[in-house]
Structure 1
Amino acid sequence: MADRVETRELEYFVAVAEELHFGRAAGRLGIAQPPLSRAVRRLERRLGVTLLDRGPRGVALTAPGEVLLREARRALESVDAAVRLTRREGAARRGLVLVLKPGGDGGLLPAILAAYEACPEAVPVEVLMRGIGDRVRALRDGSADVALLHAPYEDLAGLDTEELMTEGQVAVVPRGHRLAAREYAAMADLDGEPLFDRAVDGAPEAGHLMQLVALGRTVVLAPESVRDHLRRDLVCVPVPDAPPVTVVLAWPERSTSPTLAGFVRTATEIAGLYGKSEV
């Protein structure tokens, strides 16, 4: 127990490792430089490794320092998440925070909210719009209680989920595209197209992505409910042999919040009324 590293020590080290300058790190932390230097030295002695090379040209991370920076960031993020989740659990009766991307509800959300608000135990629901990747992050860092996500495109590890509906996919193309007038297209028809790949191209904001489609820079496969939110210069072409997309309700696993349970129950019931499969 005596060798356990304190959160404050990790914060100090991360600041120095990111700034690679003790003076800037001290300013960022709001402390004087000498105690910061001593704290990092104590951390190195405790761990038995050199974390930073201190030379005339400045500060550089050693190999052990690279490892600690990566793991310390994760540890500090987990601590922050634990605080947020604990506070949200204590405030659960006062409201729920639901996060989704624009148009990411498959058309279900208005009916879900209306049904939930009619429940005697209902609490206010704050709806946040976030981009690709930010929704899962909001669940994990405790800034949201529940999210509408899309499988298989998002990482659901560490989350409990309930499937709400399954949709086919469409190719989103500019109006002048060679496939724009087609009644439908096959995946083979997209060979040679600059097809957007989330794994390679990252997670741009939805408006940015659709602008790239309009400019002819990419073609996007998206759930067919995207039709309801599409800009006028774009066209949706059904792709029947594309893998389906499932809209799921997700929340941190092992949640014990009765408020969250009530919302999930209502959402599941509404999805059942609409039919889980819309393919």
Structure 2
Amino acid sequence: MDTLETRELRYFVAVAEELHFGRAAGRLGIAQPPLSRAIQRLERRLGVRLLERDRRGVALTAAGETLLSEGRAALAATTAAARRTRRAGGAEGPGASRDRLVLAVKAAASHELLHKLLDTYAAEPGAADVEVLPSGTCEQGEMLRDGRADVALMHAPFNSLTGFDSEELTSEGQIAILPAAHPLAARTALTLADVADVPGLPLARWSGSAPGAGPLIHDQTQLAQLIALGRTAAVFPDSARAWLWAEHAAVPLTDAPPVVTHLAWPAHSRSLALARLVRTATRL
């Protein structure tokens, strides 16, 4: 049997992530016995053992690890298909446009480019409505995969472009954004080491990023306030100068790699509205 049902994948992924049938059943809103039977039927149909069960708990086999990875991707693809279908049919709320694109952008980056792109595209005949959806540092790829976004501005080397089609738009240096009153703000240039471990001024962390000493940031306004108060610093592409406050200072980082901005979209997309947006972006 080479076909899998979405329900089976959802059940298995819940068990594989929780490694506990009781918790997985609670997460799914079903009783534990039918969940256990569903997993056993799935193993019989596939002809492989997916889970090792003993008194110590539940563990994934090699086959289970593979199905967890593939199952997550398949469930994300079905969710994305449903979201994009509803969007194409104008079913995402009263008054929704039947011709709409959702563009995911990293908060606080590429302001000038984004303004030019949106203004130029909007002036073209038949342009679709574009909803701009701000995201955290590395969330754009996930938003493309699960259908929350149709297209994204992504920044190498911070974002992975694997699995997406893309067009390179711009390349720029990086800056340290510091409280204007901090001694480092008076420097004409800095290195990454200079700002990596400054006493009393830890680098900010975006929601979903790796653990660190700096405050966890959820949006651009929060970041701007904390920098102005002298509680944190941040590293951004040079284009982030567009949103700086008077209480901020931007200092070039001489050894930071260039940031390359790409317009990226799912490789399987056949949207004519997206194709027109890509043509506009490449002309810019």
TM range (shorter): 0.7 to 0.9
Contact 1:50 1:62 in 2 (8 A): yes
CA displacement at 1:53 relative to structure 2: 1.1
1:214-234 deviation line (CA, Å, top 9, x unaligned): 676764332222122124432
Residue 276 of structure 1 is matched in structure 2 by: none
Residue 100 of structure 1 is matched in structure 2 by: 105
Change (3 A) 1:29 1:103: closer
Gaps of 5+ in 1: 272-279
Residue 190 of structure 1 is matched in structure 2 by: 194
Residue 94 of structure 2 is matched in structure 1 by: none
- Once the two structures are superposed, the pairs formed by residues 1-279 of structure 1 within 5 Å of their partners are 2=1, 4-46=3-45, 47-49=47-49, 51-55=51-55, 59-64=57-62, 65-85=64-84, 88=87, 94-182=99-187, 184-187=188-191, 190=194, 193-194=197-198, 196=203, 201=211, 204-207=217-220, 219-240=233-254, 242-269=256-283, 271=284
Instruction: Report the more deviating stretch, 230-239 or 154-163.
Output: 230-239
Instruction: Report the more deviating stretch, 103-112 or 129-138.
Output: 103-112
Q: Percent identity?
A: 51
Distance 2:103 2:131 in 1: 6
CA displacement at 1:123 relative to structure 2: 1.7
Contact 1:89 1:257 in 2 (8 A): no
CA displacement at 1:87 relative to structure 2: 5.0
CA RMSD in angstroms, aligned pairs only: 3.4
Q: Whose Rg is larger? A: 1
Change (3 A) 1:5 1:19: same
Distance 1:262 1:61 in 2: 48
Change (3 A) 1:34 1:231: same
CA displacement at 1:95 relative to structure 2: 0.9
CA displacement at 1:161 relative to structure 2: 1.9
Contact 1:171 1:219 in 2 (8 A): yes
* One-letter identity of the residue aligned with 2:44: R
Change (3 A) 1:67 1:216: farther
Equivalenced residue count is 266
- Given the two structures, how large is their TM-score scaled by the length of structure 2? 0.76
What SS does the aligned partner of 1:43 have?
A: helix
Change (3 A) 1:219 1:87: same
Contact 1:104 1:148 in 2 (8 A): no
What SS does the aligned partner of 2:184 have?
A: coil
Gaps of 5+ in 2: 91-96
- Given the two structures, how large is their TM-score scaled by the length of structure 1? 0.77
